[in-house]
Amino acid sequence: MTVLLAQISDLHLDGTERATRRAVRVMDHLRALPRPVDALLVTGDIADHGTEAEYEEAARILDAPFPVLTCPGNHDARPAYRKALLGEAPATEPVNRAHHIGGTAVLMCDSTIPGRDEGRLDARTLRWIDTTLRELPEDTRALIAFHQPPVELHHPLPDSAMLEQPGDLAALLAAHPRVAAVLTGHAHTAAASTFAGLPLVVGPAVTWTLRLPWEGDRPADRDQPPGLAYHVLDDEGRLTTHYRVVL
């Protein structure tokens, strides 16, 4: 069946009125859609400082009548994320979750390295991805989502903090043709590329938009409205993405 997913990223909730207003605006937009999405993916940097208070606010803002699937980013802190956002006991292990949405498995993966901006899918997470994909029913499609892009986006800021050792993931994906695409955040710019022969779709940010080198010297455009992506995964396993801003 065809699945409609929304994606937002990089909310950077920090207790300020500006960050709250922008996140609320996006969620109000999604809740008001005439045809609700089947799920919302939130690809990291939900909090700005990784405090419990920031995740408590995130839990309130992200409450929705559709499933909300999250993964952490480099600004997130696993213990507080687990406790205040997921309602789990605090722990430092990677936060990996698989969700089944309309015949599609969405693997929300933890690519964070505590204390660093760069990402890495560690050995535990790679084993989890491999095992999860192998155990899926034969007719189930899959999407892989995490925070840091595994390829250069041609801007020095995100390219300085990419996913490290992307070849490990590429080798894993070669054994799993059921994966339709890879989805990430982190870059604060809507982008599309390829990785391991698959579509790579980078979701825009809620908090601010990255200005590319040919757009000027100031990298952070805080005046741009928050962005989101809509992903349509059809019966043939083709992913189509539409980007929107929320005024």
pLDDT tens over the chain, length 247 residues: 899 999 999 999 999 999 999 999 999 999 999 999 999 999 999 999 999 999 999 999 999 999 999 999 999 999 999 999 999 999 999 999 999 999 999 999 999 999 999 999 999 999 999 999 999 998 899 999 999 999 999 999 999 999 999 999 999 999 999 999 999 999 999 999 999 999 999 999 999 999 999 998 889 999 999 999 999 999 999 999 999 999 9
pLDDT on residue 198: 98
Number of domains the chain is built from: 1
Count of CB atoms within 10 A of residue 85's CB? 24
pLDDT on residue 217: 84
The terminus-to-terminus CA distance of the chain in angstroms comes to: 31
State how far the Cα of 247 lies from the Cα of 136, in Å rounded to an integer: 39
Q: Would strands 68-71 and 39-43 be described as parallel, antiparallel, or unpaired? A: parallel
CA 216 to chain centre: 27
Domain span holding position 127: 3-245
CATH number at 214 reads 3.60.21.10
Q: How far, CA to CA in Å, does 237 sit from each of 14, 112, 164? A: 38, 28, 28
